[in-house]
A and B are shown apart, each in its own frame.
Chain A
Amino acid sequence: MTTATLGGMPAITYNFAYLDEQTKRMIRRAILKAIAVPGYQVPFAAREMPMPYGWGTGGVQVTAAVLGPDDVLKVIDQGADDTTNAVAIRGFFEKTAGVATTTATTEATVIQTRHRIPETPLRDDQILVYQVPIPEPLRFLEPRETETRQMHALEEYGLMHVKLYEDIARHGHIATTYAYPVEVAGRYVMDPSPIPKFDNPKMDDCPALQLFGAGREKRIYAIPPHTRVRSLDFEDHPFEVQRFAQPCALCAARGVYLDEVILDDRGGRMFVCSDTDYCESRQAAGHRGEMAPPDAALPQPVSPRGEDATRVSDDASSDLSASARGRPAGAGAGAGTGAGTGAGGTEAGHD
Chain B
Amino acid sequence: MGLALGFADPVFDSQSAFRAAMWALARPGRLEPLAVTLDPPAPLSPEAAALLLALCDFETPVWLDASAAAVPEVARFLRFHTGARIVAEPGAARFVLITDPARMADFAEFAQGTPDYPDISATLVVQVERFSASGLVLEGPGVPGVRGFGAQPLPADFIARMVANRAGFPLGVDLLLAGAGHVAGLPRSVMVREG
A residues sitting closer than 8 Å to B (CB atoms) are: 1-2, 16, 21-22, 24-26, 28-38, 40, 42-43, 65-69, 124, 149-150, 152-154, 185, 187-188, 205, 207, 209, 222-228
Contact = CB atoms under 8 A, between A and B. Distances in A.
B92 interface: no
Nearest to B171: A37
B97 to A, nearest CB: 16
Nearest to A228: B141
B59 A32 contact: no
Interface stretch (B71-79, B111-119, B129-137, B150-158): B111-119
10 cross-chain pairs, A with B, having the tightest CB-CB distances, nearest first:
A153-B115, A36-B187, A224-B142, A33-B119, A227-B141, A226-B144, A224-B141, A149-B116, A36-B174, A224-B26
Contacts of A225: 26-27, 142, 144
B13 to A, nearest CB: 10
B27 A32 contact: no
B38 interface: no
Interface stretch (B17-25, B41-49, B62-70, B101-109): B17-25
Contact of A66 (B22, B56, B59, B169): B22
Contact of A21 (B10, B21, B25): B10
A68 B189 contact: no
A187 B187 contact: no
Given A37-B188, A225-B142, A226-B143, A68 B170 contact: no
9 contacts: A25-B57, A28-B54, A33-B118, A36-B189, A43-B117, A69-B12, A149-B117, A152-B116, A227-B141
Contacts of B19: 66, 68
Given A32-B123, A37-B189, A153-B115, A25 B174 contact: no
Contacts of B143: 226
Contacts of B55: 25, 28-29, 32
Contacts of A188: 170
A29 B140 CA distance: 21
Nearest to B114: A153
Given A65-B18, A68-B12, 10 more contacts: A2-B11, A21-B10, A25-B57, A32-B22, A32-B55, A32-B174, A38-B141, A38-B189, A40-B118, A224-B25
Given A25-B55, A226-B143, A40 B16 contact: no
B82 to A, nearest CB: 9
A215 to B, nearest CB: 18
B121 interface: yes
A228 B144 CA distance: 10
Contacts of A36: 25, 174, 187-189
B145 to A, nearest CB: 8
A224 B169 contact: no
B141 A185 contact: yes
Given A29-B55, A35-B22, A187 B11 contact: no
B60 interface: yes
A1 B11 contact: yes
